[in-house]
Amino acid sequence: MLHVAETGKTEAGDFFKKNDQFKCWLSHAGNEENLYLSIYPMWESSESQRRQLENKIISRYKPICNKFDESDQDVFSTTVKTTRPEPEPEPEPEPED
């Protein structure tokens, strides 16, 4: 998952290329053939409900083409945030008899 956002119509043939996130998507996907669009329709939802779900997904998965700032859940931009995985904990030594 590269990016999460609410969007309107996606029918235009140049939907990907005209999106502000296109360069970020392409830099991580390698080429357009590797880009896929997933849609979760929320026809009867309010803007608040859609924003809540969007924030929850971004918070959980931290897509690389979304900037996640834990101090302000409504601030998202195209800045790429690189994180390093945390090191594995050392195994507990076995007790000696």
Q: Which one, of 70, 60, 75, 79, lies nearest residue 20 by Cα?
A: 79
Query: Which of 42, 35, 34, 59 lies closest to 6 in space, CA to CA?
Result: 42
The answer to whether the predicted template modeling score (pTM) of the entire model surpasses 0.85 is no
Of 9, 62, 1, 70, nearest in space to 36 by CA? 1
Residue 62: what residue type? K
Residue type, 10: T
* Residue range 29-86, pLDDT digits in tens: 999 889 888 888 888 999 999 999 999 999 999 999 987 554 444 444 433 334 455 5
Domain spans of the chain, in order of start: 1-83
Instruction: Provide the pLDDT confidence category of residue 96 given band limits of 50, 70 and 90.
Output: confident
Q: Is the CA virtual torsion 81, 62, 21, 30 positive or negative? A: positive
